[in-house]
Structure 1
Amino acid sequence: MSQSAPPPQPQSQPEPRPADGNPFAQQQAPAPYAAQPGAVPPPPAPPAPLRGNVAVGLVAAAVAAVAAAALYGVVIGLTKHEIGWAAVGVGFVIGLAAGRLGGRNPMLAVVSAVLALGSVYLGQLVGEAMIGADQLGVSFSEVFFQHFGIVQDAWKEEADPLTFLFFAIAGWAAFSGARKAAA
Protein backbone atom coordinates (compact mmCIF):
# COMPACT_ATOMS: atom_id res chain seq x y z
CA MET A 1 0.00 0.00 0.00
CA SER A 2 1.15 3.34 -0.64
CA GLN A 3 1.52 5.89 1.95
CA SER A 4 -0.15 9.12 1.43
CA ALA A 5 1.69 12.21 2.24
CA PRO A 6 -0.04 14.83 4.31
CA PRO A 7 -1.04 17.88 2.34
CA PRO A 8 1.57 20.57 2.38
CA GLN A 9 0.96 23.14 5.10
CA PRO A 10 1.53 26.76 4.21
CA GLN A 11 4.57 27.92 6.00
CA SER A 12 3.90 30.81 8.25
CA GLN A 13 6.16 33.78 8.02
CA PRO A 14 7.56 34.97 11.29
CA GLU A 15 6.08 38.31 12.33
CA PRO A 16 8.42 41.18 11.81
CA ARG A 17 9.79 42.49 15.07
CA PRO A 18 10.80 46.05 15.76
CA ALA A 19 14.47 46.78 15.50
CA ASP A 20 14.71 47.40 19.23
CA GLY A 21 13.39 43.91 19.99
CA ASN A 22 10.28 45.08 21.88
CA PRO A 23 7.51 42.60 20.95
CA PHE A 24 4.79 45.02 22.14
CA ALA A 25 5.87 48.01 20.05
CA GLN A 26 3.63 48.95 17.15
CA GLN A 27 5.13 48.48 13.75
CA GLN A 28 4.59 51.51 11.53
CA ALA A 29 3.79 51.10 7.91
CA PRO A 30 6.31 52.69 5.59
CA ALA A 31 5.37 56.13 4.25
CA PRO A 32 3.70 55.80 0.85
CA TYR A 33 5.72 58.68 -0.58
CA ALA A 34 8.99 58.38 1.23
CA ALA A 35 11.79 60.70 0.23
CA GLN A 36 13.94 59.31 -2.50
CA PRO A 37 17.70 59.14 -2.06
CA GLY A 38 19.24 62.38 -3.28
CA ALA A 39 15.93 64.26 -3.14
CA VAL A 40 15.96 67.97 -2.39
CA PRO A 41 14.53 68.72 1.05
CA PRO A 42 11.52 71.06 1.24
CA PRO A 43 12.26 74.76 1.73
CA PRO A 44 12.31 76.03 5.29
CA ALA A 45 9.19 77.59 6.72
CA PRO A 46 8.90 81.36 6.19
CA PRO A 47 9.91 83.52 9.14
CA ALA A 48 7.27 84.51 11.63
CA PRO A 49 5.54 87.82 10.84
CA LEU A 50 6.92 90.90 12.48
CA ARG A 51 3.59 91.84 14.04
CA GLY A 52 3.90 93.30 17.50
CA ASN A 53 7.31 94.87 16.92
CA VAL A 54 7.21 98.56 17.84
CA ALA A 55 10.23 99.46 15.70
CA VAL A 56 8.66 97.84 12.63
CA GLY A 57 5.41 99.68 13.36
CA LEU A 58 7.23 103.01 13.54
CA VAL A 59 9.07 102.39 10.28
CA ALA A 60 5.86 101.29 8.56
CA ALA A 61 4.07 104.41 9.81
CA ALA A 62 6.89 106.65 8.56
CA VAL A 63 6.88 105.01 5.12
CA ALA A 64 3.09 105.27 4.96
CA ALA A 65 3.32 108.96 5.97
CA VAL A 66 5.68 109.79 3.11
CA ALA A 67 3.62 107.85 0.57
CA ALA A 68 0.35 109.35 1.81
CA ALA A 69 1.81 112.87 1.73
CA ALA A 70 2.84 112.41 -1.89
CA LEU A 71 -0.57 111.06 -2.85
CA TYR A 72 -2.41 113.78 -0.91
CA GLY A 73 -0.26 116.43 -2.59
CA VAL A 74 -1.04 115.04 -6.03
CA VAL A 75 -4.78 115.09 -5.23
CA ILE A 76 -4.52 118.73 -4.12
CA GLY A 77 -2.39 119.64 -7.13
CA LEU A 78 -4.77 118.05 -9.61
CA THR A 79 -8.01 119.29 -8.07
CA LYS A 80 -6.61 122.62 -6.80
CA HIS A 81 -8.62 122.05 -3.58
CA GLU A 82 -8.01 120.49 -0.20
CA ILE A 83 -10.26 117.49 0.26
CA GLY A 84 -11.33 116.39 3.73
CA TRP A 85 -11.83 112.72 3.00
CA ALA A 86 -8.28 112.58 1.63
CA ALA A 87 -6.98 113.91 4.95
CA VAL A 88 -8.95 111.18 6.72
CA GLY A 89 -7.36 108.63 4.38
CA VAL A 90 -3.87 109.97 5.09
CA GLY A 91 -4.36 109.60 8.82
CA PHE A 92 -6.05 106.24 8.62
CA VAL A 93 -3.36 104.69 6.40
CA ILE A 94 -0.63 105.83 8.77
CA GLY A 95 -2.49 104.53 11.82
CA LEU A 96 -3.32 101.26 10.11
CA ALA A 97 0.31 100.61 9.20
CA ALA A 98 1.51 101.39 12.72
CA GLY A 99 -1.18 99.37 14.47
CA ARG A 100 -1.07 96.30 12.25
CA LEU A 101 2.68 95.90 12.40
CA GLY A 102 3.49 97.54 15.71
CA GLY A 103 0.84 95.99 17.92
CA ARG A 104 -0.87 97.45 20.95
CA ASN A 105 1.79 99.84 22.18
CA PRO A 106 0.01 103.13 23.02
CA MET A 107 3.03 105.11 21.86
CA LEU A 108 2.26 104.06 18.28
CA ALA A 109 -1.10 105.82 18.27
CA VAL A 110 0.48 109.08 19.43
CA VAL A 111 3.38 108.85 16.97
CA SER A 112 0.90 108.03 14.19
CA ALA A 113 -1.06 111.21 14.95
CA VAL A 114 2.11 113.31 14.85
CA LEU A 115 3.20 111.68 11.58
CA ALA A 116 -0.25 112.34 10.12
CA LEU A 117 0.08 116.06 10.92
CA GLY A 118 3.44 116.18 9.18
CA SER A 119 2.13 114.14 6.27
CA VAL A 120 -0.84 116.46 5.69
CA TYR A 121 1.46 119.49 5.89
CA LEU A 122 3.92 117.97 3.41
CA GLY A 123 1.05 116.96 1.14
CA GLN A 124 -0.32 120.50 1.17
CA LEU A 125 3.12 121.83 0.28
CA VAL A 126 3.38 119.36 -2.59
CA GLY A 127 -0.05 120.50 -3.80
CA GLU A 128 1.00 124.17 -3.59
CA ALA A 129 4.16 123.40 -5.54
CA MET A 130 2.19 121.54 -8.21
CA ILE A 131 -0.25 124.42 -8.58
CA GLY A 132 2.60 126.97 -8.71
CA ALA A 133 4.57 124.93 -11.24
CA ASP A 134 1.49 124.66 -13.44
CA GLN A 135 0.86 128.42 -13.28
CA LEU A 136 4.50 129.30 -13.98
CA GLY A 137 5.04 126.67 -16.65
CA VAL A 138 8.06 125.13 -14.90
CA SER A 139 8.72 121.71 -13.43
CA PHE A 140 7.43 120.64 -10.05
CA SER A 141 10.91 119.71 -8.83
CA GLU A 142 12.23 123.18 -9.66
CA VAL A 143 9.47 124.88 -7.66
CA PHE A 144 9.49 122.44 -4.74
CA PHE A 145 13.24 121.99 -4.26
CA GLN A 146 14.73 125.27 -5.48
CA HIS A 147 12.03 127.64 -4.19
CA PHE A 148 10.80 125.84 -1.08
CA GLY A 149 10.57 129.08 0.91
CA ILE A 150 8.19 130.56 -1.64
CA VAL A 151 6.07 127.41 -1.49
CA GLN A 152 5.84 127.74 2.30
CA ASP A 153 4.95 131.42 2.03
CA ALA A 154 2.19 130.58 -0.47
CA TRP A 155 0.89 127.91 1.93
CA LYS A 156 0.82 130.43 4.80
CA GLU A 157 -1.14 132.92 2.71
CA GLU A 158 -3.73 130.36 1.67
CA ALA A 159 -4.07 128.61 5.04
CA ASP A 160 -7.50 129.09 6.58
CA PRO A 161 -9.39 127.45 9.45
CA LEU A 162 -10.40 124.60 7.14
CA THR A 163 -6.71 123.83 6.54
CA PHE A 164 -6.18 123.34 10.26
CA LEU A 165 -9.36 121.30 10.54
CA PHE A 166 -7.84 118.87 8.05
CA PHE A 167 -4.80 118.59 10.33
CA ALA A 168 -7.06 117.69 13.24
CA ILE A 169 -9.04 115.19 11.16
CA ALA A 170 -5.89 113.45 9.96
CA GLY A 171 -4.43 113.29 13.47
CA TRP A 172 -7.65 111.85 14.89
CA ALA A 173 -7.91 109.30 12.06
CA ALA A 174 -4.32 108.17 12.61
CA PHE A 175 -4.73 107.89 16.38
CA SER A 176 -7.98 105.95 16.21
CA GLY A 177 -6.78 103.88 13.23
CA ALA A 178 -3.70 102.73 15.10
CA ARG A 179 -5.75 101.78 18.16
CA LYS A 180 -8.35 99.86 16.15
CA ALA A 181 -5.81 98.10 13.92
CA ALA A 182 -3.89 96.82 16.94
CA ALA A 183 -6.98 95.30 18.56
Structure 2
Amino acid sequence: MSQSVPPTGNPFADGAVPPAPAPAPVRNNVALGLVAGLVAAIVGALAYGGIMRALADEDGSYSEIGFLALGVGALVGVALGKLGGRNPILPIAGVPLALLGVFLGQMFGYALMISWWSELAGTPLTLTELFTSELGNLFKAWKEEADFMSILFFAIAGYEGFAITKKLGG
Protein backbone atom coordinates (compact mmCIF):
# COMPACT_ATOMS: atom_id res chain seq x y z
CA MET A 1 0.00 0.00 0.00
CA SER A 2 1.34 3.41 -0.86
CA GLN A 3 1.41 6.28 1.53
CA SER A 4 -0.81 9.15 0.51
CA VAL A 5 0.00 12.80 0.91
CA PRO A 6 -2.44 14.63 3.18
CA PRO A 7 -4.76 17.08 1.40
CA THR A 8 -2.76 20.06 2.70
CA GLY A 9 0.18 19.11 0.47
CA ASN A 10 2.44 18.82 3.53
CA PRO A 11 3.95 15.31 3.74
CA PHE A 12 4.68 15.90 7.46
CA ALA A 13 1.15 17.00 8.43
CA ASP A 14 0.51 13.67 10.12
CA GLY A 15 3.19 14.47 12.72
CA ALA A 16 6.10 12.76 11.03
CA VAL A 17 9.43 14.46 11.72
CA PRO A 18 11.70 15.29 8.79
CA PRO A 19 15.12 13.68 8.88
CA ALA A 20 17.85 15.69 10.65
CA PRO A 21 20.37 17.40 8.37
CA ALA A 22 23.84 15.91 8.20
CA PRO A 23 26.24 17.47 10.71
CA ALA A 24 28.61 20.11 9.38
CA PRO A 25 32.08 18.75 8.69
CA VAL A 26 34.62 19.52 11.37
CA ARG A 27 37.13 22.07 10.17
CA ASN A 28 40.56 21.59 11.62
CA ASN A 29 43.11 22.70 9.08
CA VAL A 30 45.79 24.48 11.09
CA ALA A 31 48.17 25.00 8.17
CA LEU A 32 45.50 26.57 5.96
CA GLY A 33 44.34 28.74 8.85
CA LEU A 34 47.85 29.99 9.60
CA VAL A 35 48.57 30.77 5.94
CA ALA A 36 45.23 32.57 5.64
CA GLY A 37 45.92 34.46 8.87
CA LEU A 38 49.32 35.60 7.60
CA VAL A 39 47.84 36.71 4.28
CA ALA A 40 45.09 38.56 6.17
CA ALA A 41 47.71 40.30 8.34
CA ILE A 42 49.58 41.46 5.23
CA VAL A 43 46.42 42.63 3.46
CA GLY A 44 45.34 44.40 6.64
CA ALA A 45 48.78 46.03 6.93
CA LEU A 46 48.61 47.34 3.37
CA ALA A 47 45.16 48.81 4.00
CA TYR A 48 46.24 50.25 7.37
CA GLY A 49 49.30 51.96 5.87
CA GLY A 50 47.40 53.22 2.85
CA ILE A 51 44.72 54.79 5.01
CA MET A 52 47.36 56.35 7.28
CA ARG A 53 48.97 57.94 4.23
CA ALA A 54 45.60 59.09 2.86
CA LEU A 55 44.93 60.92 6.13
CA ALA A 56 48.34 62.65 6.19
CA ASP A 57 48.73 66.36 5.51
CA GLU A 58 51.52 68.15 3.67
CA ASP A 59 52.59 69.83 6.92
CA GLY A 60 53.67 66.50 8.40
CA SER A 61 50.62 65.75 10.52
CA TYR A 62 48.63 62.55 10.26
CA SER A 63 45.93 60.66 12.10
CA GLU A 64 45.84 57.12 13.34
CA ILE A 65 42.44 55.56 13.75
CA GLY A 66 41.86 52.77 16.25
CA PHE A 67 39.30 51.16 13.96
CA LEU A 68 42.13 50.29 11.61
CA ALA A 69 43.77 48.12 14.27
CA LEU A 70 40.41 46.60 15.10
CA GLY A 71 39.93 45.85 11.40
CA VAL A 72 43.33 44.16 11.09
CA GLY A 73 42.63 42.00 14.15
CA ALA A 74 39.17 41.12 12.89
CA LEU A 75 40.47 40.26 9.43
CA VAL A 76 43.09 37.94 10.91
CA GLY A 77 40.53 36.38 13.25
CA VAL A 78 38.05 35.71 10.45
CA ALA A 79 40.73 34.12 8.28
CA LEU A 80 41.98 31.89 11.08
CA GLY A 81 38.55 30.93 12.38
CA LYS A 82 36.82 30.32 9.06
CA LEU A 83 39.64 28.50 7.30
CA GLY A 84 41.53 26.98 10.21
CA GLY A 85 38.69 25.68 12.29
CA ARG A 86 38.60 24.62 15.91
CA ASN A 87 42.20 23.92 16.72
CA PRO A 88 43.00 25.59 20.06
CA ILE A 89 46.34 26.90 18.77
CA LEU A 90 44.62 29.18 16.24
CA PRO A 91 43.18 31.79 18.65
CA ILE A 92 46.61 32.02 20.27
CA ALA A 93 48.21 32.44 16.84
CA GLY A 94 45.70 35.20 16.13
CA VAL A 95 47.38 37.48 18.67
CA PRO A 96 50.88 37.71 17.14
CA LEU A 97 49.49 37.68 13.60
CA ALA A 98 47.22 40.63 14.38
CA LEU A 99 50.09 42.45 16.13
CA LEU A 100 52.30 41.80 13.12
CA GLY A 101 49.62 43.20 10.83
CA VAL A 102 49.31 46.42 12.84
CA PHE A 103 53.10 46.82 13.13
CA LEU A 104 53.62 46.30 9.40
CA GLY A 105 50.70 48.61 8.68
CA GLN A 106 52.20 51.37 10.79
CA MET A 107 55.63 50.89 9.23
CA PHE A 108 54.11 50.92 5.74
CA GLY A 109 52.12 54.03 6.59
CA TYR A 110 55.20 55.84 7.86
CA ALA A 111 57.15 54.77 4.78
CA LEU A 112 54.43 56.07 2.48
CA MET A 113 54.30 59.39 4.34
CA ILE A 114 58.10 59.80 4.48
CA SER A 115 58.34 59.02 0.77
CA TRP A 116 55.67 61.60 0.00
CA TRP A 117 57.12 64.27 2.27
CA SER A 118 60.65 63.69 0.97
CA GLU A 119 59.37 64.11 -2.57
CA LEU A 120 57.68 67.40 -1.60
CA ALA A 121 60.99 68.54 -0.06
CA GLY A 122 62.88 67.76 -3.26
CA THR A 123 64.88 64.82 -1.88
CA PRO A 124 62.72 61.82 -2.80
CA LEU A 125 63.09 58.51 -1.02
CA THR A 126 61.44 55.47 -2.55
CA LEU A 127 59.65 52.77 -0.58
CA THR A 128 62.38 50.36 -1.64
CA GLU A 129 65.05 52.62 -0.13
CA LEU A 130 63.01 53.06 3.04
CA PHE A 131 62.59 49.31 3.52
CA THR A 132 66.21 48.47 2.67
CA SER A 133 69.00 50.98 3.27
CA GLU A 134 66.84 53.26 5.45
CA LEU A 135 65.05 50.55 7.43
CA GLY A 136 66.87 51.45 10.64
CA ASN A 137 65.81 55.08 10.33
CA LEU A 138 62.25 54.04 9.47
CA PHE A 139 62.11 51.85 12.57
CA LYS A 140 63.57 54.69 14.65
CA ALA A 141 60.85 57.03 13.36
CA TRP A 142 58.22 54.43 14.22
CA LYS A 143 59.59 54.09 17.77
CA GLU A 144 59.68 57.87 18.25
CA GLU A 145 56.06 58.18 17.20
CA ALA A 146 54.86 55.30 19.40
CA ASP A 147 52.75 56.45 22.32
CA PHE A 148 50.01 55.17 24.59
CA MET A 149 47.51 55.14 21.73
CA SER A 150 49.84 53.00 19.63
CA ILE A 151 50.03 50.47 22.45
CA LEU A 152 46.26 50.58 22.79
CA PHE A 153 45.89 49.89 19.06
CA PHE A 154 48.15 46.86 19.42
CA ALA A 155 46.10 45.61 22.37
CA ILE A 156 42.85 46.02 20.42
CA ALA A 157 44.24 44.14 17.42
CA GLY A 158 45.61 41.31 19.55
CA TYR A 159 42.33 40.93 21.42
CA GLU A 160 40.32 40.88 18.19
CA GLY A 161 42.70 38.37 16.61
CA PHE A 162 42.14 36.05 19.57
CA ALA A 163 38.42 36.59 20.22
CA ILE A 164 37.18 36.40 16.65
CA THR A 165 39.26 33.31 15.90
CA LYS A 166 37.90 31.61 18.99
CA LYS A 167 34.31 32.55 18.19
CA LEU A 168 34.39 31.52 14.53
CA GLY A 169 36.52 28.43 14.98
CA GLY A 170 34.58 27.00 17.88
**1:13 alignment counterpart:** none
- The structure number with the bigger radius of gyration is 1
Shift of 1:82: 1.4
1:77 aligned residue (53, 58, 62) = 53
State the secondary structure of the residue aligned to 1:105: coil
Identity %: 44
2:131 aligned residue (138, 144, 157) = 144
- TM-score norm. by structure 2 comes to 0.75
Shift of 1:141: 2.6
**1:65 alignment counterpart:** 41
Pairs aligned (count) = 135
Are 2:75 and 1:88 equivalent residues in the alignment? no
State the alpha-carbon separation in 1 of the partners of residues 45 and 153 from structure 2.
13
Name which structure has the greater RCO, CA cutoff 8 Å, separation 6+. Answer: 2
Maintained 8 Å contact 1:61/1:115: yes
**1:102-143 Cα shifts (integer Å, max 9, x gaps):** 111121001011111111011101111111111111233322
Maintained 8 Å contact 1:76/1:82: yes
State the alpha-carbon separation in 2 of the partners of residues 128 and 98 from structure 1.
28
| Structure 1 residue ranges without an equivalent (≥5) | 1-48
- TM-score norm. by structure 1 comes to 0.70
2:108 aligned residue (126, 130, 153) = 126
| Structure 2 residue ranges without an equivalent (≥5) | 1-24, 56-61
Maintained 8 Å contact 1:117/1:171: yes
CA RMSD between the two structures: 1.6
Shift of 1:180: 1.5
Shift of 1:146: 2.8
State the secondary structure of the residue aligned to 2:132: helix
**1:8-49 Cα shifts (integer Å, max 9, x gaps):** xxxxxxxxxxxxxxxxxxxxxxxxxxxxxxxxxxxxxxxxx9
**2:144 alignment counterpart:** 157
